[in-house]
Structure 1
Amino acid sequence: MEKEIWVPVTFTHIEYPKGDTLGMILAWFSLLPSFTVISFIPVIVLRRDLTTIFFFMGMFVNEGVNQVLKRVIAEPRPSRTASTVQWSQYGMPSAHSQFAGYFAMFVVLLFYVRISVVTFIIPLAKIWKHVLAAVTVLVSLAICYSRHYLKYHTEKQICAGFLVGLAIGAVWFIILEKFAGPYFPIIASMPICEMLLIKDYSLIPNTLWCEYHCIKTEMRSRAKKYIRPE
């Protein structure tokens, strides 16, 4: 009787050696791409921002490129004799590492190109972008290392995936800045976007500061209507 092959869904099936604490931690890092993709759905529903939607679309473009490269290169994953999984997917380049590279490049460029800071309101504003950028890069590298430690990919497959992800993240951000972004105000003013409350923040240098003060002003205005003199 032919042995049945179980096919893991991308980004979901993660194994680690039993009793290996570091392996367990890195396995959770390997799951971060899945959590990130899922978390973008409520973020898009709540914010309805064109830049966020464009970033999300780039994740699927990145994954599509990865699947094409895997089938063209057709390099197998490293063998793991203790594994209970019989691999049915190719390993070059690593999808997790490519996702990590795309995410890190796009987010870091977003921090330094798109987001400016009102320094006289936030005293530590000059360093927060550097801290967030460093954390983003470190988490991305941890995802890449998890794929090596858990023996899902070779070092070559991980490095290739990360470099491809960096390139796609940079290209996708350039497309955003030079080609798609300039049309966002026009797209946001379309009737369908207005009906769906889809917004464009590209012309606002600090969306956090803007949202905070807009909401604060609106709350003060509404509070006055409910406060009655005694």
Structure 2
Amino acid sequence: MDSQNEQEELEIDWKCNSLWTVEYPKNDKIGKLLSHFSMIPVIAPFALLLVLILKRNFASFCCLTGLVASTLFCRVLKSYFRHPRPDAGHSASHGKFGFPSDHSMSIAVLVVFVLHYSRKLDSICLRAFANLSVVALSILVIVSRVYLQYHSLGQVLAGYVFGILFAFVWLKASKPAKKHFQSASKRIAQKSTKFEKLTVVLFFAGEEIKMKKNGKKDENKSS
């Protein structure tokens, strides 16, 4: 009877974050804040995809493909080790297995990529800010996964180590693809000019509106 009462007292009243399927202890402000930081590895690929579309640089391409590949590799490792997550009583399931942590693995990959490519930044202050920010965010991600009881400390540390090793291998393996990426990017840019005269493209780009405004200005000047 006493053990049953103790178990009920230890049970946590989990509340799901309104933005993500991440649960935190109810009325726990730190847990709620960490639930947001916990999703940084999930948001990062979409941010990199946007940068890739706008900038079409190899760094964003390498980072994006590396994050996707590391996530797939982590799923393979999880199915191999089949190590269960902590039994915390979450209602929102993130999968049965938790070794290694894919969130900590992804953020470790991102840390290595940022530290590597930030060396090309001319501004020392900007380079220091980028490096410090990504390291601080990685710590918050690791702490959040353990604090919210989605992973044990061993699972997140293992994910971080696997992520660092994977990132170095990916950077080395992706070097030969740089020339192919640059040539493909140029071809895409050349072919995309064919679509620039389409009315639909001009409309969503806002060029058609500019043309109409300029046309009205010319009419007013002529009158």
Figure out how many residues of one structure are paired with residues of the other and give that number: 174
Cα deviation for residue 196 of structure 1 reads 4.3
2:33 aligned residue: 25
Cα deviation for residue 188 of structure 1 reads 3.7
**In structure 2, distance between residues paired with 1:43 and 1:133:** 18
Corresponding residue SS for 1:16:
strand
Cα deviation for residue 194 of structure 1 reads 3.2
Corresponding residue SS for 1:151:
coil
Structure 2 CA distance for partners of 1:95 and 1:87, relative to 1, 3 Å: closer
Cα deviation for residue 106 of structure 1 reads 1.0
2:154 aligned residue: 156
Q: Which amino acid aligns with 2:35?
A: A
Corresponding residue SS for 1:19:
coil
Q: Which amino acid aligns with 1:167?
A: L
Q: Which amino acid aligns with 1:47?
A: K
Structure 1: 5+ residue stretches without partners: 1-11, 118-124, 198-230
1:30–1:143 Cα contact (<8 Å) kept: yes
- 1:74 aligned onto 2:82: yes
Q: Percent identity?
A: 25
1:101 counterpart (82, 105, 108): 108
1:40-119 map, 5 Å: 40-81=48-89, 83-85=90-92, 88-112=95-119, 115-117=120-122
1:50-94 CA distance string (max 9 Å, x none): 33122211111101100000000000001014x324564210000
Structure 2: 5+ residue stretches without partners: 1-19, 194-223
**In structure 2, distance between residues paired with 1:42 and 1:110:** 18
**In structure 1, distance between residues paired with 2:192 and 2:65:** 18
1:194 counterpart (179, 190, 194): 190
What TM-score comes out, normalization by structure 2 length? 0.71
- The alignment's C-alpha RMSD in Å is 2.0
Cα deviation for residue 35 of structure 1 reads 1.8
**In structure 2, distance between residues paired with 1:173 and 1:58:** 8
1:93–1:157 Cα contact (<8 Å) kept: yes
What TM-score comes out, normalization by structure 1 length? 0.69
1:181 counterpart (178, 181, 184): 178
Higher relative contact order (CA 8 A, sep 6+): 1
1:153-187 CA distance string (max 9 Å, x none): 0111000001111111122122234x222444444
Q: Which amino acid aligns with 2:30?
A: L
Please state which structure has a larger fraction of its residues in helix. 2
